[in-house]
Amino acid sequence: MHDDSSDWRRVLVDDEDALGALFDRHRTRLFAHARRLLNDREDAKDAVTIAFFELWRHRRRVRLVDGSPLPWLLVTVGNAARNLERSRRRYRSLIARVPVAQATQEVVSSDETGVLAALKRLPVAEQHVVVLAILEGYAERETAEILGIPPGTVKSRLSRAKAKLRDELTTVEETWA
């Protein structure tokens, strides 16, 4: 069985099969991450696909952690998810202006007011830190390395994000009580 570092060496010499091996190894985890950020399953698949296209395109500049591109892929999936959601909002706005014979009701996610919605409202920099440190379990030092920021910045962003999430979730809990 190959590990990320041996497959990565092959990717760097333009071996597309090695990229496929990385895709097969990490797609489930990346898809789960994309689903946390996006309501639409197909958009989540697209976010993962985009991340692998970008991995191939930028392979000579990708920052690895312990020989693995997974942290880079997690951040890239997050960025792709935000871009897809932004596009979706723009299209919804355009569609809303088109006259329709019969109005249709939009399907709303079951977590529209919960944890995932609160996570999506955090600033992007704080989202990255929360996803990597809390949801994906990377240590603060690793998170700092992945994002290319000092460990102290990770600590402060994580602290701010936790406080915002705690406040927001307390408000949500009070409205349900």
Give the pLDDT score at 107: 46
Helix or strand run (H / E) with residue 11 = helix 4-11
Q: What is the pLDDT of residues 65-123, one digit of tens each?
A: 999 999 999 999 999 999 998 888 887 777 777 765 554 445 455 555 577 888 888 89
Q: Which residue has the higher pLDDT, 38 or 109?
A: 38
Give the pLDDT score at 79: 95
pLDDT score of 39 more than 50: yes
Q: Which residue has the higher pLDDT, 21 or 86?
A: 21
Closest by Cα among 22, 19, 84, 20 to 50: 84
Structure tokens at 111: 């977590």
Q: Kindly report the average pLDDT of the chain as a whole number.
A: 86
